[in-house]
Homo-oligomer: A and B are copies of this chain.
Amino acid sequence: MSLVVVGSIAYDRIETPSRPEGVKVLGGSATYCSVAASFFTVPQMVGVIGDDFANKDMEFLKDCNIDTGGIVREKGETFFWHGRYHDDMEGRDSLDTRLNVFQNFNPDLHDTMRSPDILFLGNIAPILQLKVLDQMKNRPFVAADTIDLWINTALDELIKVISRVDLFFLNEDEAFRITKTDSLTNAAGALLDMGPKAVIIKRGDAGAVLFDRNSWSFVPAWPLEKVVDPTGAGDTFAGGLMGFLDQKGDVSSNAMRAGLVTGSALASFCVGGFGPRHLASTKSATLKSRINGFINATRIDKKLLSWVMDD
């Protein structure tokens, strides 16, 4: 199978209560998503970088076994984001956002990337997500993610994106705002009515819920002693799920449910440190052990509940 990931590539300066001076790391939705997916497959990463993008960062992506052939270098600086997390490590303020080369990003995919099995549209402007969709020569399984900025500034295009994808990821608050509802069930119903086969509503440390027409499925967030940096957790969750689907060659409801676990497992490592290098340093055995931990934590002894089934 093949997986194309389109999204932002950035440098982030991240301030947290325990690192008030800030930490500068590689960032962006395509970056976190591709690094996560690379645990399972060889993602083809599409995005734009500036003159300042360090060779060591490109080498890092290649070392992750990411196909970087779709990364374009333009004159100017790489997209830069400077944020500060609140004490609760959930709320955050954007102190500075410089689009730089990202401002004129106009994704023009290589011919070899226009017929993937799976396409993931990470968080970029919905108009750009639509442009990428228009370049597809086949009908891949398409998933997309967004952020609240686009609900405020480009809702019409965002709704077009939602109508054209198979799987849509968003946060709970975003789901409530797009659908003007205040319960997960109603939000999911309204989103499914827009077109996708499935919707995944991300709930931070409360896990994530997948809804399709017939059922819902759930994954918790791994309970951690400490969250070091939540940046990229949502992209990592999506990347862990998409990479898994690509590895399995299976985009069924059943595979998506299992992918909730690989996504949540990788997200739990993402937030344990700063930047995608921390995520990439996760050992295979550690990831396997955590996935087994998820299986164990959600395991129910159906036999004990058998009175339910029996009469």
- List A residues at the B interface (Cβ < 8 Å): 183-186, 188, 203, 205-207, 209, 215-218, 220, 223-227, 247-248, 250, 254-255, 257-258, 261-262, 288, 291-292, 294-302, 304-305, 307-309
Contact = CB atoms under 8 A, between A and B. Distances in A.
Nearest to A89: B182
Closest 3 CB pairs of A and B: A206-B206, A258-B304, A184-B223
Contacts of A205: 206
B304 A292 contact: no
B257 A301 contact: yes
A261 B300 contact: yes
A218 B298 contact: yes
A276 B292 CA distance: 39
A230 to B, nearest CB: 13
B183 A250 contact: no
Given A188-B223, A207-B207, A218-B220, 14 more contacts: A183-B223, A183-B227, A184-B223, A186-B225, A203-B206, A215-B296, A215-B297, A217-B297, A218-B298, A248-B304, A255-B301, A255-B304, A258-B304, A295-B300
A224 B297 CA distance: 23
A224 B304 contact: no
A249 B183 CA distance: 37
Contacts of A188: 223
Nearest to A188: B223
B186 A209 contact: no
A24 B248 CA distance: 55
Given A223-B183, A224-B183, A226-B183, A258 B305 contact: yes
A87 to B, nearest CB: 9
A254 B301 CA distance: 7
Given A223-B184, A301-B254, A207 B209 contact: no
Nearest to A265: B308
B207 A206 contact: yes
A220 B226 CA distance: 22
Contacts of A298: 217-218, 298, 300
Contacts of A299: 217, 257
A231 B115 CA distance: 54
B305 A262 contact: yes
A218 B223 CA distance: 10
14 contacts: A183-B227, A184-B223, A185-B223, A206-B206, A217-B296, A217-B298, A217-B299, A218-B297, A248-B304, A255-B304, A257-B300, A258-B304, A291-B305, A295-B302
B305 A225 contact: no
